[in-house]
Amino acid sequence: MNRIEERFARLKREGRKAFIVYIGAGDPNLDATRQLALAFDQSGVDVLELGVPFSDPLADGLVNQLAAQRGLESGTTPPKLLETIAAIRQQSQIPIVLYIYFNLIHRVGLEKFITDAAKAGVDGLLVLDLPPEESDNYEALMRHAGLSQIYLVTPTTPEDRMALIVKRAAGFIYYVSRIGVTGMQTNVAADLAEQITKIRAHTSLPIAVGFGISNPEQAKLVAGSADGAVVGSAVVNQIAQHGKSPELVAKVSAFVKLLADAVKSI
């Protein structure tokens, strides 16, 4: 088992839910990313998703698009990010997933990227624009490297295709709780429990729910139905607000701890 699988197995034994955080890598700079990762590990985060900056982040709303832009402006590249992850690994074993667009992997070369990611200490990849139907070689290389290939299921995914997707996945299933791009929302989807039940009929993998969760109450509500809650834009928005402050890590990790405590209170 890699770190993702180990963490979910431990949480299941303990009867607890997973709290997953997404941030844009290199926002405002890679040293801040390293410090935030270490602080999140102490604040109750179970899995850290790092968005690899990309010029055309089509699945992302404005908050995360701006984070990607700041990451590019800070000079963050995939090789520099892997160096940062290797530095995080010297102090922390928090499970790390790269949230990435396939173009960035293709440019490096599929086998080299996966090998380099595993060597740096990455545990899984969530490739936004790589459908399972085109992933045979990718999945074989991921298994060989000991990495989890994480796939998305959405409210509009037909059930027969959902069954295909979850059988190809590893680590956990990421359920996108609403139609559209990433971003903070005022309400949790009304059919969430029903959709999770439908997915569970096809897989024993943990199901984490994201897209739109913006406060502790929503995080707790989602974790009540799912195996984990993913918060991204709300945390990225905190980084945007405090990015130039010497209190950046303290303020953002305090916000994250409120969310983590809500998920862990179930």
In the chain, what percentage of residues exceed pLDDT 90? 91
Question: Could you give the CA distance from residue 68 to residue 57 in angstroms, rounded to a whole number?
Answer: 8
Say if residues 101 and 127 touch (Cβ distance below 8 Å).
Answer: yes
Q: Where are the domains of the chain?
A: 3-248+257-264
227 assigned to active site:
no
49 is catalytic: yes
Residue 134 corresponds to which tokens in the numbers above?
Answer: 């085109």
Q: Going by DSSP bridges, is the β-strand pair 124-127/148-149 parallel, antiparallel, or unpaired?
A: parallel
Average pLDDT over residues 197-204: 97
Catalytic residue among 5, 27, 41, 49: 49
Closest C-alpha to 125, from 157, 116, 133, 91 = 116
| Predicted TM-score (pTM) of this structure | 0.96
Q: Using an 8 Å Cβ cutoff, are 81 and 50 in contact?
A: yes
Contact 186, 212 (CB under 8 A): no
pLDDT in tens, 207-249: 999 988 999 999 999 999 999 999 999 999 999 999 999 999 9
Phi, psi of 143, rounded to the nearest 5 degrees: -60, -45
Which of these is catalytic: 5, 27, 46, 60? 60
DSSP state of 122: -
Strand pairing partners for 96? 48
**CATH topology for the 3-248+257-264 domain:** TIM Barrel (3.20.20)
User: Quick check: bond before 246 cis, omega within 30?
Assistant: no
Q: Dump pLDDT digits (tens) for 50-101.
A: 999 999 998 888 999 999 999 999 999 999 999 999 999 999 999 999 999 9
Cα(61)–Cα(65) distance, integer angstroms: 6
